[in-house]
Chain A
Amino acid sequence: MENYIWLIPVLPLAAFVITLIFGKWWIKEASHWLPILALAGSFGLSFAAFLQIRGAEEPVVVELWRWFSVGSFQVPMTLQLDQLSAVMCLIVSGIGLLIFIYSVGYMHGDGGYYRFFAYMSLFAFSMLMLVLAGNYLVLYFGWEAVGLCSYYLIGFFYHKPEAAAAGKKAFIVNRVGDFGFGLGVMLIFVTFGTLDYSGVFRQVGAGGASDGVLIAIALLLFMGAMGKSAQFPLHVWLPDAMEGPTPVSALIHAATMVTAGVYLVARSAVIFASAPTALLVVGAIGTFTAIFAAVIGICQKDIKKVLAYSTISQLGYMFMALGVGAWAIAIFHLMTHAFFKALLFLGAGSVIHALGGEQDMSRMGGLAKRIPATYYTLVAGALALSGIFPFAGFWSKDDILGSVWRDGQYLFWAVGLITAFITGFYTFRMIFLTFFGKPRMDEATGKHVHESPWSMIVPLVVLAAGSLLAGFLGLPGRLGVLQGFLEPVFAPANHVLGIEEHTLTAVDYVLMVVSVIVAALGIVLAWFMYVRRTDLPALLGHRLRPAYKVVYNKFYVDEFYAATVVRLTVDGSRWLWRNFDEKIIDGAVHGTAWLWQQAGRAVRPLQTGRVQNYLLGMFAGLFVIVTVVVLL
């Protein structure tokens, strides 16, 4: 196994390099083959690794090379394969593969076809590096690299100013989180003298650091996770990131990259388990984000924005689970979410494709008969997202609510339950607005509605099957295959928290039934409002105008930032620029530069070009240096 792990990330990297160099002139329209084959190879290898790591007690650590070694300061490039990274690899390469295939149809005819596949391959490489990292430095490398790819791909249509602005926004907001993450990594190194997972976790387990330091490390790491996984208050970039091509939204901003924060916390489970305060913060932020984003999702008009807020909300669920120490269940939800959210995005992409680029739901409607394949698969995804038995979302979300209940965090549980209701509502609001009722698009568009090509439909069907079946991997209690598989990874953290396996009781069954009923109520309400009494939404919107406005404007978070942080930064920077920068810094910089230039000019005459002077200089120099050295 040690022999081929490195190939898992390197195959997409090779595809990236070759496609980038030769794509423009040679490969052109065939640019998709190499990335797809490479990722398929990664998927195959991930599967082989998955089979081999089953039941292993210890992770497999492969040191590829030593980047630096000076005395005790060593920076090895290590990859680590354990059950957690194996699962992540399968998700990334498997979902990624489907999305790559989908992109063949979706991106067909785009001028930057080769560029798209090159960047997507680079993303696959970075993400696989991130999950396979054997120490925090390699993790940080992958972390920054996926951020960079995300930035490139959001701004893929760089001629659109919104896309460029969204890319910039994502980059800046992520910087805030990454700043914390970077500090956290440094603090880990300072505290433990190593960055290797195994070394760090062993020392944490042995009580190698004080509580305060552990809390600081955990919170700093979580700050990075908040940025990448779009948790309140750093969630603002994700909805804007929908400016990127839809496959990008599906792969990066739903299925994989945004879950990196969840992965980071799960990976550092021992640290978080040893810092209960930090764990509570994780749970609280996650819970709040879950309901906050779900409420915003109710009022969005753009189909992709609905899904974006839904992603933020679902990530909140995952952090809620992490917050009560249900690590494996968070990863389980991460996996099922990857299936159904990728499906929803790709389905939405198929709808947008059919309507020639229309994203506004108020100009859709009545599409169920026109694009049936998209319709059925999308409904499967919506059922999974709402958490209806027996779809994948049901199992994972109920596992989360169940473990929150067991942990005694009833407030989290109640909020989670309400969120489940809202989720059912906004999800089916989207379905009903899109596929039911009368067509609301203009005639020209309406005539051209067409089902998408096979390369787009096949991934949808596969993902729909996954959304239906993936849940059975994580049945609750002792039945959970995935939980058992991940057990060796999380055993130390569970040991710290004193969590033990539980058997299913009547309470669990009641909880399940309750949450399904609540979600179903949400769906029924959506049906009532958007199919039965289509006049209701407008009426309600009118009656509850202030509330509606607040939600529609996403609680004015962006405006708040614009008025405070951005304003302050801009004004403050301008002030600093005027007073401090121009006068002092610029003065200093220009002064320094000027000084150097002047010094350079001043000594210039010494370089006369006359050999006699050169020889004289040599001799005088020798004399002076000898005198200096000898006399000192």
Chain B
Amino acid sequence: MQWPDLVPVIPELILLVAACVVLLVEPFLKTEDGRGDKTAVIAIALTGLLGALVVSLALVGQDRESFAGMLVLDDWAVFFKVLFAIGAGLVILMSPGYLEAHRRHLGEFYALVLLAVVGMDLMAAARDFILLYVALELMAISSYVLAAFFRYRVRSNESSLKYFLTGSFASAIMLYGISLVYGLAGATGYAAVGQALGGRGGSAGVLLAVFLVAVGLGFKVSAAPFHMWTPDVYQGAPTPIAAFFSVGPKTAAFAAIMAAFIVAFPGAVQEWGVFFIVLSIATMLVGNLYALVQTNVKRMLAYSSIAHAGYLLTGVGAMGWAGNSYPGHGVMVYLAAYTFMNLGAFGLLAYLKTQMPHSFDYSLKQMAGLGRRSPWAAVLLSLFLLSLTGIPGTAGFIGKFYVFSGVVWADLWWLAVIGVLLSVVSAYYYLRVIIYMFFREPEEEYEVREPISGGMAASLAVSAIATVVIGILPSWLWDSVASAFNALFD
């Protein structure tokens, strides 16, 4: 046996070591019932993420594979590794105050986040269904535990259990699909499967296999009708974790879909293209419809994240419909934009909850008067919500613009029209929050606890700056996306 080439997984190894060190250090910090100084743990976790980020950036432009071709290192993988490292870093920065306010500040939290990032990294880098499945499970199991992090709370428990049950159901379906793929192609590597199935086009067995795999990944991106867990899980989970769920696993699943489907199922592109198009329409409809009637901002954001998955899926569907990777460029730009604006929006809710751990219940009417109470928070939240709406000058506009222009490129203009119309509908529930913040008088006086913590401020500032910068200077993002796609599909 050869020594495996470990260079492609250095970022993951760093994260793994950091997670282990966190687990080793945590029990030695003498703390009772979740209180105490966790600075050391946070520092280790952040150092690990920073190391992973720096190493990933240093590996730009490489092209190598390892572990018998199961995973690769190219600009595609690096793009997502960087995105995940930044996203997880922002989540970790916004968490301490929140956990402290709920008296559940445990070091395991950080280890679990790091392990989930390892899983997501491997999902993006995987070029083999087996590794994809294992990586997905690593991410999923960490997520289940994180959802239940406030285990004394019924809602948190409910969130975790629902996530676990539906998630394992979806995993099982996907695994079944993978086993069918293996049965048909005799291989599990994307390229090998593509070669074996290439000529056999849309035969029934292949289609069934493809759809079952698509369902497993569609569950992770919370595409309708596999979305029903999303609002319950996001609402019950700790808010920073909901933020993490809404961007991390979703992005990883999109990375896996885009990397796997074009390469592995080239004979059935039309069919899975249509599959994702149908899914995207259903998802956009459901997400926007439900979001309209929510009075709880956190739950509204959960539904809005479903709607965004719908916009993203139009791009994926267009990829299949055109049999070309070009529309995927927009999806990737959108994913980057979405990471920052959604983390920002959820992060702001986490900040408000940290301020009022007992009275704040995320309801719309408690947002009233925020513009006067803490103008900075209101302005930032408005920025993120406007970006989610897709107002020009923000990252959200750039993302939507590129996704829908890719969709139009694939001659699916009617799909783009549906997407744009439904994002106009979405303006209603995003702007409603802004109206409440600035133009409604609060029904009662709210007591503000303490000034913002440094980590939370940094996290929100980075999200806001990234949201604006992507909105104004999208070309570098587009360039790195283009180079990622070149690496994958030349």
Contact = CB atoms under 8 A, between A and B. Distances in A.
B26 interface: no
A600 B165 contact: no
B402 interface: yes
B232 A630 contact: no
Interface stretch (A64-72, A157-165, A503-511): A64-72
A320 to B, nearest CB: 39
A521 B478 CA distance: 67
Given A615-B169, A626-B208, A603 B290 contact: yes
Interface string A97-131: 00000000000000000000000000000000000
Contacts of A604: 290, 293
B228 A607 contact: yes
Interface in A61-111: 65-71
B286 interface: yes
A609 B225 contact: no
Contact of B169 (A65, A593, A600, A618): A618
Nearest to B215: A622
Given A65-B475, A69-B478, A611-B162, A618 B225 contact: yes
Contacts of B165: 611, 615
A603 B402 CA distance: 31
B130 interface: no
A544 interface: no
A607 B229 contact: no
Contacts of B179: none
Contacts of B169: 615, 618
A206 interface: no
A620 B226 CA distance: 10
B302 to A, nearest CB: 11
Contacts of A593: 428
Interface in A572-626: 593, 596-597, 599-601, 603-604, 606-607, 609, 611, 613-615, 617-618, 620-622, 625-626
Nearest to A593: B428
A599 B475 contact: no
B170 A68 contact: no
Contacts of B278: 625, 628-629
Interface in B276-309: 278-279, 282, 286, 288-290, 292-293
B146 interface: no
Contacts of B473: 65, 67
B279 A607 contact: no
Nearest to B278: A625
A444 interface: no
Interface residues of B, number: 43
A600 B225 contact: no
Contact of B207 (A71, A630, A632): A630
B167 to A, nearest CB: 11
Interface in B114-142: none
Interface string B453-490: 00000000000000000001111001000000000000
Interface in B232-253: 232
B202 to A, nearest CB: 9
Contact of B166 (A603, A615, A621, A629): A615
B472 A621 contact: no
Given A604-B290, A618-B228, A68 B166 contact: no
B478 A632 contact: no
A67 to B, nearest CB: 7
Contacts of B211: 622, 625-626, 629
Nearest to A601: B293
Given A65-B473, A66-B475, A607-B228, A599 B289 contact: yes
A616 to B, nearest CB: 10
Interface in A318-350: none
Contacts of A628: 278
A603 B286 contact: yes
B293 A600 contact: yes
B292 A600 contact: yes
A593 B293 CA distance: 11
B70 interface: no
Contacts of B289: 596, 599-600, 603
Interface in B185-229: 204, 207-208, 211, 215, 219, 224-226, 228-229
B435 to A, nearest CB: 14
Nearest to A609: B232
B231 A614 contact: no
A326 B269 CA distance: 64
Nearest to A625: B278
B282 to A, nearest CB: 8
B79 to A, nearest CB: 19
A67 B275 CA distance: 33
Between B170, B215, B225, the greatest number of chain A beta carbons within 10 A of the residue's beta carbon is seen for B225
B13 interface: no
Contacts of B215: 618, 622
Contacts of A622: 173, 211, 215, 225-226
Interface string B150-173: 000000000001100110011001
Interface in B372-410: 401-402, 405, 409
B225 A67 contact: no
Contacts of A611: 161-162, 165-166
B225 A621 contact: yes
Contacts of A632: 274
Contacts of B224: 621
Nearest to A599: B289
B271 interface: yes
B21 interface: no
Interface in A478-509: none
Contacts of A609: 232
B257 interface: no
A597 B425 CA distance: 11
Contacts of A621: 224-226, 282
Nearest to A603: B289
| Residue from B231, B232, B290, B293 having most chain A Cβ neighbours under 10 A | B293
B305 to A, nearest CB: 15
A163 B288 CA distance: 42
Contacts of A625: 211, 225, 275, 278-279
Contacts of A70: 402, 405
Contacts of B472: 67
B274 A629 contact: yes
Contacts of B162: 611, 614
A609 B165 CA distance: 13
Nearest to B401: A68
Interface string A206-239: 0000000000000000000000000000000000
A614 B166 contact: yes
A613 B409 CA distance: 38
Contacts of B173: 622
B293 A597 contact: yes
A626 B279 CA distance: 11
Contacts of B282: 621
B407 to A, nearest CB: 12
Contacts of A68: 401, 474-475
Nearest to A71: B409
Nearest to A624: B225
B290 A600 contact: yes
Interface of A: 65-71, 593, 596-597, 599-601, 603-604, 606-607, 609, 611, 613-615, 617-618, 620-622, 625-626, 628-630, 632
22 contacts: A66-B475, A67-B473, A67-B475, A68-B401, A71-B409, A596-B289, A596-B425, A597-B293, A601-B293, A603-B289, A604-B293, A607-B228, A611-B162, A618-B166, A618-B169, A622-B215, A625-B211, A625-B275, A626-B211, A626-B275, A629-B207, A629-B274
Given A597-B292, A622-B215, A626-B275, 12 more contacts: A67-B472, A67-B473, A67-B475, A68-B401, A596-B428, A597-B293, A614-B162, A618-B215, A618-B228, A621-B224, A622-B226, A630-B271
The 7 closest A-B pairs by CB, nearest first: A621-B225, A600-B293, A614-B228, A66-B475, A600-B292, A600-B289, A629-B275
